């Protein structure tokens, strides 16, 4: 893994590569048993990242939630959702923001993150060969989605643009002396935003209503304990994920490499 949790502090800038993986790894480790993370949990993690909650703060919140859980007499029960940690993460983030009051402007951006292993190193999860295989796969997936979207003008046009840009991104990555995984992730994230915006704009009212109803049902049990902003962001992430899946469009991010 490019950056370990131990190497980051609460002031370090978000890392594109390990945010999701570190959260999942921490949750599974503290849970004590492997578990497939649900789409709803992924939507929550995505909300944390989009709300600029530092990774270290999220991990601290997970630790705190499990510390409290372990003190309770529930030895035969397991925590089955990352949502169990949601309130604890919010509390830790509030504490973090309070601790930053009066800090020098820009101090967070000035904190360096130690990176172990570049994308061309043997131990890196972003080895060139693996990245190039992934880019080849999503190129094919996008092209197939473009064919399916022929009748949806907005989405079809966006996928045309995405395919062209992805072709250029692939060419640049293959020609580079040393693969810059962080720059590549930024490019893919930008492309992903373009496609996702078109997916939502081209969705039928019926498809939107169905996705929103599903999101409302999935989040019902968690809404009361969630901050309104987090609820809204997680709700929209869940809707977007469902619309993307219906259109057969892949996630464009190195995090989703096989």
Domain of residue 32, residue span: 5-110
Q: How far apart are CA 208 and CA 53, in angstroms?
A: 28
Query: Which region among 74-78, 124-128, 171-175, 245-249 has the lowest average model confidence (pLDDT)?
Result: 74-78
Tell me how many helices (H) and strands (E) the chain has: 10, 0
Last residue of a domain, one of 55, 77, 110: 110
Q: Domain check: are 63 and 148 in the same one?
A: no
Would you tell me the crossing angle of helices 128-148 and 153-175 to the nearest 10 degrees? Answer: 160
Q: Domain check: are 77 and 140 in the same one?
A: no
The tally of domains found in the chain comes to 2
238 assigned to some structural domain: no
The whole-angstrom distance between residue 252's C-alpha and the CA centroid of its chain comes to 11
Tokens at residue 236, please?
């929209």
| pLDDT reported for residue 217 | 95
Query: 59: closest CA among 103, 29, 17?
Result: 29
CA distances from 174 to 170, 184, 185 (A): 6, 11, 15
96 assigned to some structural domain: yes
Q: Domain check: are 87 and 195 in the same one?
A: no
pLDDT tens for each residue of 10-61: 333 444 457 888 898 889 989 888 888 888 999 999 899 888 888 888 998 9
Q: How far apart are CA 27 and CA 39, in angstroms?
A: 15
198 assigned to some structural domain: yes
| Average pLDDT over the chain, rounded to an integer | 81
Q: How far apart are CA 180 and CA 169, in angstroms?
A: 12
The mean pLDDT value for 76-102 works out to 86
Q: How far apart are CA 92 and CA 75, in angstroms?
A: 26
pLDDT tens for each residue of 209-257: 999 999 999 999 899 889 999 999 999 999 998 999 998 998 898 888 8
Length of the chain: 258
pLDDT tens for each residue of 126-160: 788 999 999 999 999 999 999 999 888 999 999 99
231 assigned to some structural domain: no
């Amino acid at each position: 893994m490019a950056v370990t949790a131990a190497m980051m502090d609460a002031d370090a800038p978000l890392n594109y590569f390990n945010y999701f993986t570190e959260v999942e790894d921490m949750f599974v480790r503290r849970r004590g048993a492997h578990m497939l993370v649900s789409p709803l949990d992924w939507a929550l993690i995505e909300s944390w990242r989009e709300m600029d909650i530092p990774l270290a703060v999220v991990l601290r919140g997970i630790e705190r939630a499990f510390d409290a859980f372990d003190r309770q007499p529930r030895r035969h029960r397991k925590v089955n959702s990352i949502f169990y940690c949601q309130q604890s993460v919010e509390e830790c983030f509030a504490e973090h923001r309070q601790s930053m009051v009066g800090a020098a402007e820009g101090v967070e951006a000035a904190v360096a993150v130690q990176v172990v292993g570049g994308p061309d190193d043997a131990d890196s999860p972003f080895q060139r060969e693996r990245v190039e295989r992934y880019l080849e796969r999503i190129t094919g997936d996008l092209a197939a989605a473009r064919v399916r979207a022929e009748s949806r003008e907005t989405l079809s046009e966006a996928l045309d643009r995405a395919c062209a840009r992805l072709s250029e991104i692939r060419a640049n990555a293959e020609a580079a002396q040393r693969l810059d995984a962080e720059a590549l992730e930024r490019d893919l994230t930008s492309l992903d935003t373009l496609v996702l915006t078109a997916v939502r704009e081209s969705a039928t009212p019926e498809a939107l209503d169905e996705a929103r109803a599903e999101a409302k049902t999935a989040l019902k049990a968690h809404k009361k304990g969630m901050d309104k902003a987090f609820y809204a962001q997680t709700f929209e992430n869940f809707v977007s994920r469902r619309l993307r899946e219906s259109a057969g469009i892949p996630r464009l991010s190195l995090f989703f490499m096989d």
